[in-house]
Structure 1
């Protein structure tokens, strides 16, 4: 899942345009529409005002937006209404633009931004739920809710350099208690509509809430400011003030949320999918469309996953036999490899540090090879970290977060090392290529440093595009030789390709075909050889964020489909750098628009 880092943002417009394919460079000769760019700027600023956390994450909480540094987003009914109103206002303003009068590049920007607003309106038409990696039917779950978002945000994104920074932190602590209560109110509202998380999600949520509800002296939101303010010579009083806010507002709000989650747990069912809700079928179709940006029905996605899994399993079978794994199903043989003690890091803090060091080593090894397949590689920095222990029980297995847009704060790649046995060495390399280079970080770096893109485009994203590219990046790492001396690593790469294909099967199975939790977990164990704990967290993630897991393989197939079409036309003259320039030139776009971009580029090839 998506990551970034610190970028070099001083590229000239000419430098950014140099990465464009010839047909796209020609299109940039027309000046961007001032009317369209002004509208985009207004839309971006208005959205930023509603999402102060995003302003801080991007490093844009300064100047006219300096007041946002002390605020959190309004998650009350009024805040949700404001978001809906902004979406409708944006759609009305976009409708006034004469698309036919725009240049080719402006039309891509227009179509992409319009797509985001229509998708937002579709999700907002359902009066329940929250968001995580995509739309979620649950305002609070093991993946959604302020209780887990805010502590990590304040600790890793809110910088403390000055007294003003520390004061802003305290202001956000005050708002944190209200966010928790607003989330609890939304839980009650949703329960009135019959939207209650399944019992197993509430169990994990309660575990994480309980771990978060610690005495003030042990709470991350208190220890973070106490430590960092003292380190900057701001004294010890900030820690005491934070503890007082925690005791007066945050702790009691957490207690109220825990108490209500327990009430819901008493009436929750074990049904895993959103099909059980009154609007569940429509909600799943919307979530699937929004996250994948592909116009496929649940049945079509399910069949796509089965077909892809069959092809990947055939390749895995041959490679497993070469390594002496000849007996049993693909899943059984992969499970045996998982148990190889030579591939396991100790399940200790020291062992987990060794795993992180290995990941950094793999990144160092691939850096020098990137110029052989890319015309432009943005320089940056980033950090690999362990998922905070208090939320690792329900967190995704690996994910990334963006840096400040000005490069003042690096991006972060998180690994969930709850159990080191779930991350054998042969599975780590392909994941770091996905989250880091040449995956999310390279793709995101080129987008953020692309001066041809308006800010609303640089900072926007689509799971189908971003995760599809990152999965393609895993394939590219194999193609440029990263597994030539690591045959087990190649097995790990293909195993995760199979895993992403089976995600399409499992996600649609849960939400469309009414699979149960245990059936879905067992499917991963049988088909991929997944560790049961890993499979459990993945399945429960899909229960909380319907549709998003399907975006990886669907996006990957779009990128590879364009590439294969170009190779079929050019043969030996095919230029991999030109392909990468073409599909990365316009930043993140819906898959439908990516296909149009790719098809147009192919028409220019000789």
Structure 2
């Protein structure tokens, strides 16, 4: 090790700088720790993107000096997981050294956000198995399952975000296809080790995973398959043999790696049971406690969360009952009547490609209708760049009805709502409005554009309770902005959506803390929501795969509304919805305790004005 000994010149320079700091105005002195903090945040952002290159492509920052990231994939081997642990430990240590005194509120918030994300990830990484993400929402005990793994993530990246504009982009695309084999094998090593520890997913999740991976194997090298098709479509104007090379790589490298992973999944299936929750698995209670903490950014117990869910479902069903009676539906449970309404002529769409086209058009119409109303809810509007796309077919069987998020930082890639069109019956005129307000505008896509104006690290890190809580609050804003005036069916869908998120509190805790079976959870879910069985089954299976994540939605919305009530009480006549909403989105994606601090600053600033 080389030890640094300062020269006389270095010493004098340091003394002069110290004297200057002593005499400079307080405002200038504060700039030093702020600059140190900003430099650290930027350094951590690029270190994290080096570990998660797909995020660099999603954000559109894999350019210039960072262009090599465009051809790389995340290392999911045990060695890759160890690199992530070291990054987390080093990041926490570096954050602890940054002086907090005199920092501006935005920088202080960013430091608190990053520290929270890293600390939560560190505790998750100390668990004996699973995926503890760094500022993401897909924490799971199972590194590969029906909705987790490279077999899904790489096709999604290639289809959705991977640019193909020139020959260099083609090379980067092919490098990622080739890198998929190593990523798959790294996952396979980890799930085999987990099986050795006694961790085996539920049999019904493994069945869906086997089905999905088998389909990916069959389609991998096809011209329109998940690995070749995106390159053929995006690079059609470039010509060349890129698609042929992609097919060769898929056939000779990726398919064998998929087959190795499928063999391990089949080995798990041979010893699996239908026990749905973490309580039936080694270290399950410990893992679920962490999963709830990561998913909600609170320390609420499973029992408390379960009780909140039961109370919320009852209150929402009372409102749904009134609407259903207005449609002349008076017999049967709320769920049965909601299902009956969705089966009426004119509510659904044709079960074919024309129906799929109509679904997308109906979604777009709702987005177009809410845009002119947004100035009533925000002081400053973002562009809300958005397109609605069908998600890749390989994803649809294990995916929710839709999901969405913002596009690239430079605007070259718009925000997207990815809609599951595998079974058009899961979408209708009752459920669609709520869905697009949640995923698109003023939900995930809208909020994400505000977050992208913050330091780069803040665009990478996300907190489930805030992001999903905001999306539910966005549904509420749509109602408050009159989007359901004259549309009782759509408002029923809004209440169904809230009930859906409330019953998640019941079913997630029921499955993982109270020993519920899949069938019991399904019955509770359908009774609360009236959603189609295919939708319900996909939802409950998702809760089994991502313990705790589903609880963030309703708890996040509850907290945002609690902060809104706090602001109303504190400000009285000075309260304005536009200012409150602006404070929440300008603060970015944060843990719920940091949200309370941001709202507190907004209250203080408004009082001072």
Question: TM-score under structure 1 normalisation?
Answer: 0.92
- 2:208 pairs with 1:204: yes
CA contact (8 A) 1:217 1:223 kept: yes
Q: How many aligned residue pairs are there?
A: 575
Distance 2:405 2:577 in 1: 28
- 2:192 pairs with 1:188: yes
Deviating more after overlay: 289-298 vs 79-88: 289-298
Distance 2:203 2:418 in 1: 27
Aligned equivalent of 2:222, options 217, 220, 223:
217
CA contact (8 A) 1:57 1:402 kept: no
Unaligned runs of 5+ in 2: 1-26
Aligned equivalent of 2:239, options 234, 240, 244:
234
Equivalent position SS for 2:437: helix
Indicate the residue corresponding to 1:551 in structure 2: 552
CA contact (8 A) 1:500 1:553 kept: yes
CA contact (8 A) 2:276 2:512 kept: yes
Cα shift at 1:70: 1.3
Cα shift at 1:578: 1.2
Equivalent position SS for 2:165: coil
Deviating more after overlay: 563-572 vs 333-342: 563-572
Distance 1:342 1:448 in 2: 40
Indicate the residue corresponding to 2:532 in structure 1: 531
Would the alpha carbon gap of residues 239 and 584 (structure 1) be closer, same or farther in structure 2, given more than 3 Å must change? closer
- 2:576 pairs with 1:575: yes
Cα shift at 1:202: 0.4
Deviations 1:336-361 (A, max 9, x none): 11222321111111101101100001
Aligned equivalent of 1:287, options 281, 285, 291:
291
Deviations 1:203-239 (A, max 9, x none): 000111111112523432123223433x22332x112
Cα shift at 1:389: 1.8
- 2:456 pairs with 1:423: no
Distance 1:492 1:28 in 2: 54
- 2:450 pairs with 1:446: yes
Higher RCO (CA < 8 A, seq sep 6+):
1
Equivalent position SS for 2:228: helix
Equivalent position SS for 1:213: helix
Equivalent position SS for 2:86: helix
- 2:45 pairs with 1:44: yes
Cα shift at 1:574: 2.9
Indicate the residue corresponding to 2:24 in structure 1: none
Deviations 1:306-341 (A, max 9, x none): 111122122222222223222222212212112223
Cα shift at 1:184: 1.3
- 2:600 pairs with 1:594: no
Would the alpha carbon gap of residues 176 and 458 (structure 1) be closer, same or farther in structure 2, given more than 3 Å must change? closer
Indicate the residue corresponding to 1:493 in structure 2: 494
Distance 2:29 2:472 in 1: 33
Cα shift at 1:454: 1.9
Cα shift at 1:67: 1.1
Distance 1:569 1:403 in 2: 36
Deviations 1:155-201 (A, max 9, x none): 22111111111011111111111111111111101101111111000
Would the alpha carbon gap of residues 302 and 232 (structure 1) be closer, same or farther in structure 2, given more than 3 Å must change? same
Indicate the residue corresponding to 1:325 in structure 2: 329
Cα shift at 1:605: 4.9
CA contact (8 A) 2:57 2:70 kept: yes
CA contact (8 A) 1:163 1:234 kept: no
Would the alpha carbon gap of residues 458 and 260 (structure 1) be closer, same or farther in structure 2, given more than 3 Å must change? closer
CA contact (8 A) 1:422 1:533 kept: yes
Aligned equivalent of 1:315, options 312, 316, 319:
319
Cα shift at 1:29: 13
Equivalent position SS for 1:566: helix
1:260-275 equivalence runs, <5 A: 260-275=264-279
1:390-405 equivalence runs, <5 A: 390-405=394-409
CA contact (8 A) 2:384 2:441 kept: no
Misfit runs of 4+, over 6 Å = 27-30
- 2:179 pairs with 1:175: yes
1:5-154 equivalence runs, <5 A: 31=31, 33-130=34-131, 133-154=137-158
Distance 2:443 2:603 in 1: 23
Distance 1:588 1:29 in 2: 29
Equivalent position SS for 1:403: coil
Equivalent position SS for 1:399: strand
Indicate the residue corresponding to 1:467 in structure 2: 468
Aligned equivalent of 2:439, options 435, 438, 441:
435
Root mean square deviation of aligned Cα: 1.9
Distance 1:372 1:345 in 2: 32
Indicate the residue corresponding to 1:19 in structure 2: none
Deviating more after overlay: 496-505 vs 328-337: 328-337
Cα shift at 1:552: 0.6
CA contact (8 A) 2:75 2:81 kept: yes
Aligned equivalent of 1:366, options 360, 366, 370:
370
Distance 1:420 1:432 in 2: 15
Cα shift at 1:600: 4.1
CA contact (8 A) 2:405 2:439 kept: no
CA contact (8 A) 2:202 2:273 kept: yes
Equivalent position SS for 1:33: helix
Query: Highest CA radius of gyration, 1 or 2?
Result: 2
CA contact (8 A) 1:464 1:555 kept: yes
Aligned equivalent of 2:343, options 326, 339, 346:
339
1:379-394 equivalence runs, <5 A: 379-394=383-398
- 2:247 pairs with 1:243: yes
Distance 2:272 2:513 in 1: 20
CA contact (8 A) 1:387 1:395 kept: no
Cα shift at 1:30: 6.6
Deviations 1:424-453 (A, max 9, x none): 21110011011111111221111213xxx3
Question: TM-score under structure 2 normalisation?
Answer: 0.91
Would the alpha carbon gap of residues 109 and 320 (structure 1) be closer, same or farther in structure 2, given more than 3 Å must change? same
- 2:515 pairs with 1:511: no
Indicate the residue corresponding to 1:12 in structure 2: none
